[in-house]
A and B are shown apart, each in its own frame.
Chain A
Amino acid sequence: DAGVIQSPRHEVTEMGQEVTLRCKPISGHDYLFWYRQTMMRGLELLIYFNNNVPIDDSGMPEDRFSAKMPNASFSTLKIQPSEPRDSAVYFCASSLDSHNEQFFGPGTRLTVL
């Protein structure tokens, strides 16, 4: 299995631009999670989906952030407009069910100038 796939691996953009991060979970996994990692705040859960339906988005920082999962094999996290404080590593993870370990993708390192 290829594991969780994320793209792009690195993104550098300017403040105000739209950023879209992509994730392909492990096939057969029903749960998909988006995390953000920064030095200041550590690892934070942004949102998670079960069977393509958003279950808990309480970690989404503000309206500039949105996430979708149009099908079982694809999810996006969009930031519009981006700000320098959004600079972080964004991880996608998936799990078989609600009480199994989560497998993490390689992450997207986002830099907003």
Chain B
Amino acid sequence: ELKVEQNPLFLSMQEGKNYTIYCNYSTTSDRLYWYRQDPGKSLESLFVLLSNGAVKQEGRLMASLDTKARLSTLHITAAVHDLSATYFCAVQETSGSRLTFGEGTQLTVNP
């Protein structure tokens, strides 16, 4: 059974600071997705990482994938309050379409 673990689960940081969220998974996969969820809202797709070494950047967020280490990171640069949300990574098994989600990282950016 594929297991996906995120850490930290809760992250409180100040505006302007940098931080990294980690996503570890237990079996072979080369497809990983990052989603954002605001309170009471749906999930919004942020990044799709499709191969080892993939790096994607959008604004203050950068995601990377290391399939050998079974690790993805979501790096936040110079955080701003608008980034406050819960961030999920989701791993797709090599065969099939099933996505397994991590527990989510609840990020709070304080002024």
Q: Which residues of A contact B (CB under 8 A)?
A: 31, 33, 42-43, 45, 48, 50, 55-56, 91, 93, 95, 98-107
Q: Which residues of B contact A (CB under 8 A)?
A: 31, 33, 35, 41-45, 48, 88, 92, 96-104
Residue of B nearest to A95 (CB): B97
Interchain CB contact under 8 A, B45 and A98? no
Residue of A nearest to B4 (CB): A42
Interchain CB contact under 8 A, A101 and B103? no
Residue of B nearest to A105 (CB): B42
Interchain CB contact under 8 A, A43 and B88? yes
- List residues of chain A with CB within 8 A of the CB of B88: 43
The majority secondary structure among interface residues of chain A is: strand
Q: How far is the CB of B5 from chain A (nearest CB, A)?
A: 11
Interchain CB contact under 8 A, A55 and B97? yes
With A43-B88, A101-B48 known as contacts, the answer to whether A107 contacts B97 (CB < 8 A) is no
Interchain CB contact under 8 A, A107 and B42? yes
Interchain CB contact under 8 A, B96 and A56? yes
Residue of B nearest to A41 (CB): B103
Q: How far is the CB of B25 from chain A (nearest CB, A)?
A: 15
Interchain CB contact under 8 A, A99 and B98? no
Bound-state Cα–Cα, A50 to B96, Å: 11
Interchain CB contact under 8 A, A99 and B42? no
Q: How far is the CB of B97 from chain A (nearest CB, A)?
A: 4
Bound-state Cα–Cα, A48 to B92, Å: 14
Interchain CB contact under 8 A, A42 and B103? yes
